[in-house]
Amino acid sequence: MFSKSISIFIVFIILSSCKIKKEAVAGSNSELAANFSIEILTEEGNLVIDKHSSIEILASGFTWTEGPLYIEKGDYLLFSDIPNSKVFKIDAQGKARVYLHPSGSDVKNYTGKEAGSNALMYYKDELILMQQGERRIARMKAPMNAPKEHYEMIIDRYEGKRLNSPNDGVFDAQGNLYFTDPPYGLPDGINDITKELDFQGVYCLLASGKLIVLDKELKYPNGITLAPDEKTLYVAASDPEKAAWYSYAIVQPGIVTDKKMFYDVTALDRDKKHKGLPDGMKTNKEGYLFATGPDGVWIFNPDGVVIARIHTGLLTANCALSTDESQLFLTADDYILKVALK
């Protein structure tokens, strides 16, 4: 289902394990179809996506989906349903089931809105979770094909102070982990009384275990990814007052320079006509950046030029690529979506 390119059309899968209500899904179908479109902005955009590509609903009926992760071995997709502190799995037959619960804090003992895991990563045959409700990064201490809610903390403090709520991350080839630490997982956000750090950081956790802060200046750092040559770091800022995407030149792991705001969408948030802020993102092998943001997904070339947009009409939080990069998976509101790429 996931590993091969197929003709994309709108389908609606009723998944009893997710307690999906048929009438709720049906009521959203026409709205999603009406608001979905592909906008090609340059000729280069035609190299990445077909303007006639349509959208497929893989699943619906969750609360707030995030952190999609495609696993090639087994051909399945994992994603977080943050408020319910669950990770779900959609297999190659299109069936969804709970994979982990809780994926972070127990919702019964958590007073905020984002108890569960956010981003999910796969490194050295292990599932790595941004457990924002727990204010830490952890690994699942169980095989991928036999998941258990047994977690081992990787990092939870910077210079003795608790992290805010790790949000998104990406490993480089050497095992260094770049991640963002906004306040979204704190019950009262940036003003939470339990907040110990006086900034929201962009970090690099070196493979040696040393944690280095790369940037303290972004108010709401969010999505993060690397260029395929690992010479550029991209960070999304979901700050309504300065909604933008940034790039940094990587001198070596833990050292960045030449910070640039390469695209600013603050005006789109202020006019209240566009849904969403810069959020999760991924790059493909050619260096194209798929960045979720206002109205859906923005596709940038390596020079930071917008070459195409995927309009979903939904708050679109994050994305993931299939191994062959022919399919883009999206977490958007309560949906899991799929769009064909070239």
SS (H, E, C) 94-110: CCEEEEECCCCCCHHHC
CA distance 301 to 3: 25
* pLDDT, tens digit, 9 for 90 and up, residues 237-294: 999 999 999 999 999 999 999 999 999 999 997 877 889 999 999 999 999 999 999 9
Examine residue 66 and state whether it is found in any structural domain, yes or no.
Answer: yes
Which segments of 6-126 does DSSP mark as H helices, in order?
22-35
CA distance 27 to 31: 8
Q: Give me the phi and psi of 336, to 5 degrees please.
A: -115, 120
The mean pLDDT value of the chain amounts to: 92
Whether pLDDT at 298 is above 80: yes
* Residue 13 confidence (pLDDT): 34
Mean pLDDT for the stretch of residues 332-336:
96
Nearest to 129 by CA among 87, 70, 89: 87
Mean pLDDT for the stretch of residues 34-61:
95
Whether pLDDT at 336 is above 90: yes
Whether pLDDT at 8 is above 90: no
Q: Give me the phi and psi of 324, to 5 degrees please.
A: -85, 0
Examine residue 11 and state whether it is found in any structural domain, yes or no.
Answer: no
Mean pLDDT for the stretch of residues 301-310:
98
**Cβ atoms within 10 Å, residue 274:** 17
* Residue 29 confidence (pLDDT): 64
Nearest to 293 by CA among 335, 248, 337, 236: 236
The single-letter DSSP state of residue 176 is -
Examine residue 80 and state whether it is found in any structural domain, yes or no.
Answer: yes
Mean pLDDT for the stretch of residues 154-176:
99
* Residue 174 confidence (pLDDT): 98
Mean pLDDT for the stretch of residues 289-307:
98
- Total domains in the chain come to 1
* Residue 31 confidence (pLDDT): 74
* Residue 6 confidence (pLDDT): 32
CA distance 316 to 34: 16
Examine residue 5 and state whether it is found in any structural domain, yes or no.
Answer: no
**CATH number of the domain bearing residue 145:** 2.120.10.30
- Domain residue limits at 286: 16-340
Examine residue 1 and state whether it is found in any structural domain, yes or no.
Answer: no
Examine residue 7 and state whether it is found in any structural domain, yes or no.
Answer: no
DSSP state string for 189-237: GGG-TT---SS-EEEEE-TTS-EEEEE---SSEEEEEE-TTSSEEEEEE
Examine residue 3 and state whether it is found in any structural domain, yes or no.
Answer: no
* pLDDT, tens digit, 9 for 90 and up, residues 114-144: 999 999 999 999 999 999 999 999 999 999 9
Q: Per the omega criterion (within 30 degrees of 0), is the bond before 187 cis? A: no
**C-alpha distance from residue 235 to each of 96, 110, 220, 303 (Å):** 31, 28, 10, 15
Mean pLDDT for the stretch of residues 172-192:
97
Examine residue 228 and state whether it is found in any structural domain, yes or no.
Answer: yes
Contact between 72 and 323 under an 8 Å Cβ cutoff? The reply is: yes
As given in the structure block, the two tokens for residue 5 are 């390119």
* pLDDT, tens digit, 9 for 90 and up, residues 211-247: 999 999 999 999 999 999 999 999 999 999 999 999 9
